[in-house]
C-alpha cells in the first residue's frame, strides 16, 4: 500500500505540473537565477577544483564528527555560550521552551532558518501562546499566507509581484500596484519595531566553526543581525552536519554558497557569532544558546553510501536545476527539504517507508549532481535509496510480479519478437493506460522490432 505521503505527492504534483500560471512564475524566477549564477561563477578560476576541495573537507568532517562537535562545544562554552544537544524535534522544542519559560518570554523574532521549519518551531511556540514573527521578507510573506517555504533559499519563489502586492493590500492596505521597493519599505516599517520589543531572537546557522566555537550566518537583508542583536536571548538551531573544521574554511564555503544560492559573489551580510555579549561590548544578547540538532542525521551518517547527503550546504542549486522540481514545485514534496536533496535525505530523516517515493521523483538526468557545489552524487544516491526500498521489502507484490515479468521478457529476445506490434500495443494501452497520466498518451510500438528489421536487411 502506498503511504499517505506518497498519495498526496502524486495528487499534488499532478495538479501543479499542468498549472500554466505556476509553471510560468517558477520558470521565470529560475531563469533569472540561472543568469545570475552563470555570471557569479566567473569569480572562480577553476570551479571544479573548488567543488572538489569542498567535497573533501565535508568528507573529513563526516569522518570526524565525534571530534569536531565536542571541539566546537568546548570553544563556545569558554566564551560564555551554552550548548544543547537535541536528539529529535520534540526534544529541541522542549529545550527551547525551557529557555523561554525561564525567561518569561512572550515574543520571538526569527531570521530565515530551515532547521526551525524542520522541527515545526513556529507552530509549537504559537501553541504555547508565544507571538512568533518571521523577519526574512520571503518567510514573512509565506507566514502571512499560512504556507510553508516553497524553496530552501527563496521561500516565496512561487509567487509573482502581483500576488505579493495583493497580499499586502489585503493585510496592510497598500496599493495593489505597489512596486517591489514600496512593498519592501512597508515590510521594513512593520518589522523594525518587532526587534526592539522581542524577548528572544531565533536563527539557524549556515556553518558551525569548530576551532573558534562560532556560528556563521550569511544573509542579504540584515534581519539576522537585528535578530541576534536586539533581543536579550539568542538561540541558534543548527544541524550537526553544518560544522566545518576552521574559520579559514569560510574562504571557500561562503563564496560557493553565495554563488550557487543566489548568483552573488558574496552575500551582503556575513556574521560570525562566538557567544553572548562580552564585558565592554555594546552589542549582542545577554545569553546565547546553540541547539545542535540530530533529528535523524546520525541515521543517515550510518549509511556508508548515502551519507554524502550530509555534505549539503543548503544552497538550493539542485532544486533550480531539477526538471521535476521546476514542474511540480516545492510544496508538492510535503517535506522541509524539497527537490533532489530533499528526495535524498528525507527518507533517512523521516522514514524510508513513508518517503521512499521521493527517490523515484527524478528523471536521473544528473543535473543535480552537476550543479552541486560540494559534488554530492545526488542522482546516484537516489538510485541507492530505491535499491534499499526494494531490499527492505517496501514494494507491493503487484510491483514485484510486474518487474519479474518485465525482466523475464526483456532479457529474452525470442519472447520480445514472438508478440507482434499489434498485440504489444494492445497490451501496453490496456495495462498501462494511466501510467503517463491523463495529459499524455502512450507511444505506439512499431510492427517489427529493431532486431527483426536488422535480420531482414542483413539476411
pLDDT band per the 50, 70, 90 thresholds, residue 413: confident
Domain for residue 81, yes or no?
yes
pLDDT at residue 83 in the model: 98
pLDDT at residue 417 in the model: 80
Residues 375, 285 within the same domain: no
* pLDDT of 369 over the 80 cut: yes
- Per the structure block, which three cell numbers stand in for 66? 565525534
pLDDT at residue 172 in the model: 95
Domain for residue 348, yes or no?
yes
Domain for residue 18, yes or no?
no
Residues 51, 109 within the same domain: yes
Please tell me the pTM assigned to this model: 0.92
* Dist. CA 228–CA 458, nearest whole Å: 76
Out of 391, 415, 443, a domain closes at 391
CATH number at 159 reads: 3.40.50.10420
Mean of the pLDDT values across residues 18-32? 93
Residues 354, 443 within the same domain: no
pLDDT at residue 432 in the model: 78
> For residue range 146-174, what is the model confidence (pLDDT) as tens digits?
999 999 999 999 999 999 999 999 999 99
Residues 276, 372 within the same domain: no
Show the 3-state SS of 16-80. Answer: HHCCHHHHHHHHHHHHHHHHHHHHHHHHCCCHHHHHHHHHHHHHHHHHCHHHHHHHHHHHHHHCC
Out of 355, 374, 391, a domain closes at 391
Residues 192, 74 within the same domain: yes
Q: Count how many domains the chain has.
A: 3
Out of 375, 391, 407, a domain closes at 391
Between residues 459 and 346, the one the model is more confident about: 346
Neighbours of 386 (CB within 10 A): 18
pLDDT band per the 50, 70, 90 thresholds, residue 265: very high
What is the average pLDDT value for the chain, to the nearest integer?
A: 94
* pLDDT of 30 over the 80 cut: yes
Domain for residue 32, yes or no?
no
Residues 229, 265 within the same domain: yes
Residues 386, 439 within the same domain: no
Mean of the pLDDT values across residues 349-354? 94
> For residue range 183-232, what is the model confidence (pLDDT) as tens digits?
999 999 999 989 999 999 999 999 999 999 999 999 999 999 999 999 99
pLDDT at residue 115 in the model: 97
pLDDT at residue 435 in the model: 72
pLDDT at residue 137 in the model: 95
pLDDT band per the 50, 70, 90 thresholds, residue 341: very high
Residues 185, 324 within the same domain: no
Domain for residue 20, yes or no?
no
Domain for residue 241, yes or no?
yes
Angle (CA) 255-284-113 rounded to 5° is 50
Residues 290, 341 within the same domain: no
Residues 135, 231 within the same domain: yes
> For residue range 95-122, what is the model confidence (pLDDT) as tens digits?
999 999 999 999 999 999 999 999 999 9
* Dist. CA 118–CA 363, nearest whole Å: 26
Contacting residues for 109 by C-beta, under 8 A, at least 6 apart: 133, 135, 191, 194, 195, 198, 200, 201, 202, 226, 227, 230, 231
Domain for residue 124, yes or no?
yes
Between residues 64 and 409, the one the model is more confident about: 64
pLDDT band per the 50, 70, 90 thresholds, residue 405: confident
Residues 228, 81 within the same domain: yes
Which is it for the CA torsion 93, 96, 100, 105, positive or negative? Answer: negative
Do residues 79 and 290 make contact, with C-beta atoms less than 8 angstroms apart?
Answer: no
The distance from CA 304 to its chain's CA centroid, rounded to whole angstroms, is 21
171: containing domain = 44-295
* pLDDT of 235 over the 80 cut: yes
pLDDT at residue 438 in the model: 76
Domain for residue 340, yes or no?
yes
* pLDDT of 437 over the 80 cut: no
pLDDT at residue 448 in the model: 82
* pLDDT of 420 over the 90 cut: no
* pLDDT of 440 over the 80 cut: no
Show the 3-state SS of 186-200. Answer: HHHHHHHHHHHHCCE
Q: Which residue matches cell numbers 501562546?
A: 129
pLDDT at residue 245 in the model: 98
Ranges of H-type helices in 311-396: 317-321, 323-328, 339-350, 352-355, 367-371, 378-391
Between 7-16, 223-232, 306-315, 424-433, the lowest mean confidence (pLDDT) is in 424-433
Residues 319, 405 within the same domain: no
Amino acid at each position: 500500500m502506498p503511504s499517505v505521503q506518497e498519495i498526496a505527492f502524486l495528487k499534488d504534483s499532478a495538479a501543479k505540473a499542468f498549472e500554466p500560471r505556476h509553471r510560468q512564475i517558477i520558470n521565470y524566477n529560475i531563469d533569472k537565477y540561472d543568469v545570475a549564477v552563470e555570471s557569479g561563477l566567473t569569480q572562480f578560476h577553476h570551479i571544479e577544483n573548488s567543488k572538489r576541495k569542498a567535497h573533501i573537507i565535508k568528507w573529513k568532517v563526516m569522518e570526524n564528527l565525534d571530534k569536531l562537535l565536542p571541539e566546537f562545544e568546548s570553544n563556545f562554552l569558554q566564551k560564555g555560550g551554552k550548548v544543547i544537544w537535541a536528539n529529535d524535534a520534540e526534544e529541541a522544542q522542549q529545550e527551547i521552551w525551557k529557555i523561554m519559560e525561564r525567561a518569561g518570554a512572550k515574543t520571538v523574532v526569527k531570521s530565515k532558518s530551515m532547521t526551525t521549519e524542520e522541527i515545526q518551531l513556529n507552530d509549537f511556540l504559537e501553541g504555547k501562546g508565544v507571538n512568533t514573527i518571521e523577519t526574512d521578507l520571503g518567510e514573512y510573506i509565506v507566514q502571512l499566507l499560512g504556507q510553508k517555504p516553497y524553496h530552501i533559499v527563496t521561500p516565496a519563489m512561487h509567487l509573482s509581484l502581483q500576488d505579493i502586492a495583493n497580499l499586502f493590500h489585503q493585510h496592510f492596505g497598500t496599493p495593489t500596484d505597489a512596486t517591489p521597493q514600496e512593498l519592501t519599505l512597508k515590510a521594513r516599517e512593520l518589522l523594525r519595531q518587532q526587534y526592539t520589543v522581542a524577548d528572544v531572537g531565533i536563527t539557524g546557522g549556515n556553518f558551525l566553526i569548530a576551532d573558534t566555537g562560532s556560528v556563521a550566518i550569511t544573509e542579504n537583508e540584515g534581519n539576522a543581525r537585528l535578530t541576534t542583536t536586539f533581543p536579550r536571548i539568542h538561540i541558534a538551531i543548527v544541524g550537526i552536519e553544518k560544522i566545518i573544521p576552521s574559520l579559514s574554511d569560510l574562504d571557500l564555503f561562503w563564496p560557493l554558497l553565495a554563488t550557487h544560492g543566489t548568483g552573488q559573489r558574496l552575500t551582503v551580510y556575513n556574521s560570525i557569532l562566538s557567544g553572548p555579549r562580552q564585558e565592554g561590548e555594546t552589542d549582542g544578547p545577554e545569553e546565547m544558546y546553540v541547539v545542535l540538532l540530530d533529528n535523524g542525521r546520525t541515521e543517515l551518517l550510518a549509511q556508508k553510501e548515502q551519507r554524502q547527503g550530509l555534505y549539503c550546504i543548503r544552497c538550493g542549486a539542485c532544486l533550480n536545476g531539477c526538471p521535476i522540481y521546476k514542474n511540480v514545485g516545492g510544496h508538492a514534496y510535503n517535506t522541509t527539504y524539497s527537490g533532489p536533496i530533499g528526495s535524498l535525505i528525507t527518507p533517512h530523516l523521516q522514514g524510508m517507508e513513508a518517503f521512499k517515493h521521493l527517490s523515484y521523483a527524478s528523471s536521473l538526468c544528473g543535473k543535480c549532481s552537476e550543479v552541486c557545489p560540494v559534488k554530492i552524487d545526488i542522482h546516484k544516491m537516489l538510485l541507492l535509496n530505491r535499491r534499499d526500498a526494494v531490499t527492505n521489502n517496501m514494494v507491493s507484490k503487484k510491483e514485484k510480479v510486474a518487474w519479474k515479468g518485465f525482466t523475464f521478457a526483456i532479457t529474452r529476445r525470442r519472447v520480445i519478437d514472438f508478440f507482434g506490434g499489434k498485440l504489444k500495443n494492445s497490451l501496453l494501452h490496456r495495462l498501462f493506460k494511466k501510467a503517463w497520466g491523463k495529459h499524455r498518451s502512450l507511444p505506439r510500438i512499431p510492427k517489427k522490432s529493431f532486431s527483426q528489421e536488422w535480420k531482414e536487411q542483413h539476411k
